[in-house]
Amino acid sequence: KAGVTQTPRYLIKTRGQQVTLSCSPISGHRSVSWYQQTPGQGLQFLFEYFSETQRNKGNFPGRFSGRQFSNSRSEMNVSTLELGDSALYLCASSVAHRGIGETQYFGPGTRLLVL
Amino acid sequence: ELKVEQNPLFLSMQEGKNYTIYCNYSTTSDRLYWYRQDPGKSLESLFVLLSNGAVKQEGRLMASLDTKARLSTLHITAAVHDLSATYFCAVGTASNYQLIWGAGTKLIIKP
């Protein structure tokens, strides 16, 4: 079974631009979560989608948004990029993420550098 | 608010030694995860612990959970260089669809 895939793997943008990151979950997985990882703040939860609905959102500004499609693929968008948005963005999928013992499987991440 | 603390944050040890990483969390949780991350790589799931007294082992790694103390441990036995990585614990509840992560423990094992 193919793992979680994320595109692009690396991205360089300038302040004020916007960016869209893509995540394809493991086949059969319906839940997709997004995380931001930085050396200073560690791993922080952005949001989680299940069946095209956002079920939970972390403490990030409205510039961070996401969506999920009917095939469970997910995108996240960051508008008006700031230097502090430079990070590794990780996507994780799980079967349903509501049951006990659900394991999240992580993709390789997209490394975003904002100049 | 659920908070997760790991310690130590950095650990340098010699091959063949034993050591333990600790993960404390602040409120009731019904699931605790351990993940491993190699430099520049993504996260790999190691263990899922669901109940008080749960113990899981894989090779030289053993994880345990004490829900009353709100504490999980990851014990490394006779460490080998290949176990060098950053180890994260993450805690969640079934009522909240997110995991709260510890800061990670960077483990360096010297040959």
pLDDT of residue A56: 86
Q: Which pLDDT value is given to residue A55?
A: 87
Q: For residues A72, A73, A78 and A84, what is the CA-based torsion angle, rounded to 10 degrees?
A: 100
- Beta-bridge partners for A13: A114
pLDDT reported for residue B9: 96
Total Cβ atoms within 10 A of residue A45: 23
Looking at residue B30, what is its pLDDT? Answer: 76
Nearest partner of A95 among A105, A87, A85, A86, judged by Cα: A105
A52–chain B nearest CA distance, Å: 14
Burial of A22 (0-12, 13-18, 19+ CB in 10 A): middle
B46 within 8 A of B75, measured Cβ to Cβ: no
- DSSP 8-state class, residue A25: P
pLDDT at B35: 96
Measured between CB atoms, does B88 come within 8 Å of chain A? yes
- Find the angle CA(B27)-CA(B32)-CA(B35) to the nearest 5 degrees: 135
Q: Which residues of A touch B33 (CB under 8 A)?
A: 103-104
Q: Tens digit of pLDDT for each residue in B20-79?
A: 999 999 988 878 999 999 988 889 999 999 888 889 999 999 999 999 999 999 999 999
- pLDDT digits 0-9 by tens, B51-68: 888 899 999 999 999 999
In this prediction, residue B94 carries a pLDDT of 62
* Residue from the list A42, A56, A108 with its beta carbon closest to the beta carbon of B97: A56
The more confident residue out of B39 and B89 is: B89
B100 in contact with A at a CB cutoff of 8 Å?
Answer: yes
Provide the residue-wise pLDDT of chain A in tens; the chain has 115 residues: 689 999 999 999 999 999 999 999 999 999 999 999 998 889 999 999 998 999 889 899 999 999 999 999 999 999 999 999 999 999 999 886 555 557 889 999 999 999 9
Q: What is the arithmetic mean of pLDDT over B81-109?
A: 88
Contact A48 B103 (CB under 8 A): no
Q: Which residues 25-54 of B are in CB contact (within 8 Å) with A?
A: 30-31, 33, 35, 41-45, 48, 50
> How far apart are alpha carbons B61 and B16 in whole angstroms?
13
Of the pLDDT bands very low, low, confident and very high (cuts 50, 70, 90), residue B80 is very high
